[in-house]
């Protein structure tokens, strides 16, 4: 078994290969430069959004492979920034509720811009229908995947859900957190296992070994894979293939991955539940910003 990283970064067992070999190494190389210049994690998020917006502008000419290539390069720059902001937050201890929301808004905002630009360039009702359908699918799929990934990272550390980084009275933060954590409530019985310190390490180890498989299945739901799929669709001359990819294959992967993950929970719950006394339901919250970010 591969142990989760001790620095709070994401578990390599469920990571996209391009993150392991390109995106995250580039972010780590830029980290000392960003810290030396006192560049905040939130500023990195905004700079990443600007790179994504520039990628969207390039994709306005998607029918020209050279512009599509520029769009891909700028999108990779955005992915690097999206990983760097979490690294800066970890290194400087500046993770915040607002920063968590800003990161999510910037991530979704980049794809919204790309979808709008491509739909406008196609210029037909059919194109807008594809864009709206795929955009809705993207929001649902990404939200579900991020929830699954956050749970995985918490559980392999043997941690029960606890309240962290509360958004206070900020309705935007509260709304964002509710959307990100509503599915957690389904997992209350399994998460009670982590309230027993005597078995939590064993549960974490068994869970990591089994849950890594559905999480690996869901890797195509990452922003990285979407970026590459969009480029390939433009390269073959029809970005609607990318939207079809989101509407059909990614929805199938989402459904199978979530059902598989719940089956893993049910199996382990039967295995360990006899050792757990009745307990109050845990309080759920979003995981710290550095885990949820690229």
DSSP state at residue 21: I
Task: List, for the chain, all residue ranges whose pLDDT scores fall below the cut of 50.
Answer: 1-8, 165-167, 279-294
Angle at 156 between CA 162 and CA 150, to 5 degrees: 60
Residue 161 CA to residue 208 CA, distance in Å, equals 16
The label of the residue with tokens 């970005």 reads: 239
Q: Which residues of 250-261 are buried (b: 16+ CB within 10 A; e: fewer)?
A: beebbeebbebb
pLDDT digits (tens, 9 = 90+) for 103-149: 878 888 999 999 999 999 999 999 999 999 999 999 889 988 988 99
Q: Specify the pLDDT at position 98.
A: 79
Q: Specify the pLDDT at position 178.
A: 62
Name, in order, each residue with C-beta under 8 angstroms of 279's C-beta and a sequence gap of 6 or more: 192, 195
pLDDT digits (tens, 9 = 90+) for 16-35: 999 999 999 999 999 999 99
Short-list 221, 44, 71, 79, CA closest to 146: 221
User: In terms of DSSP H, where are the helices of 182-248?
Assistant: 188-191, 200-217, 223-235, 240-247
**Token representation of residue 196:** 């027993």
Mean pLDDT of the chain: 86
**Token representation of residue 34:** 């960003």
Name, in order, each residue with C-beta under 8 angstroms of 160's C-beta and a sequence gap of 6 or more: 191, 192, 194, 195, 200, 282
DSSP state at residue 160: P
Residue 18 CA to residue 40 CA, distance in Å, equals 25
């Amino acid at each position: 078994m591969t142990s989760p990283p001790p620095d709070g970064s994401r578990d390599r067992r469920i990571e996209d290969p391009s993150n392991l070999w390109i995106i995250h190494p580039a972010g780590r190389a830029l980290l000392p430069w960003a810290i030396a210049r006192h560049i905040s994690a939130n500023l990195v998020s905004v700079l990443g959004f600007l790179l994504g917006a520039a990628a969207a502008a390039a994709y306005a000419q998607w029918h020209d492979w050279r512009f599509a290539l520029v769009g891909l390069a700028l999108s990779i720059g955005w992915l690097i920034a999206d990983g760097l902001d979490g690294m800066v937050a970890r290194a400087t201890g500046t993770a915040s509720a607002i920063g968590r929301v800003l990161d999510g808004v910037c991530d979704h905002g980049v794809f919204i811009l790309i979808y709008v630009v491509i739909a406008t360039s196609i210029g037909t009702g059919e194109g807008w229908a594809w864009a709206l359908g795929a955009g809705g699918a993207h929001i649902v799929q990404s939200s579900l995947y991020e929830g699954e990934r956050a749970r995985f990272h918490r559980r392999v550390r043997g941690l029960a859900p606890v309240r962290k980084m509360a958004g206070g009275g900020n309705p935007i933060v509260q709304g964002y957190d509710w959307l990100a954590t509503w599915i957690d409530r389904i997992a209350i019985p399994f998460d009670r296992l982590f309230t027993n310190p005597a078995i939590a390490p064993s549960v974490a180890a068994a869970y990591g070994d089994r849950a890594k498989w559905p999480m690996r299945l869901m890797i195509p739901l990452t922003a990285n894979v979407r970026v590459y799929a969009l480029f390939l669709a433009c390269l073959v001359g029809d970005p609607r293939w990318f939207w079809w990819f989101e509407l059909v294959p990614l929805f199938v992967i989402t459904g199978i991955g979530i059902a598989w993950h719940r089956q893993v929970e049910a199996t382990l719950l039967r295995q360990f539940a006899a050792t757990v006394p009745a307990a109050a339901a845990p309080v759920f919250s979003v995981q710290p910003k550095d885990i949820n970010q690229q």
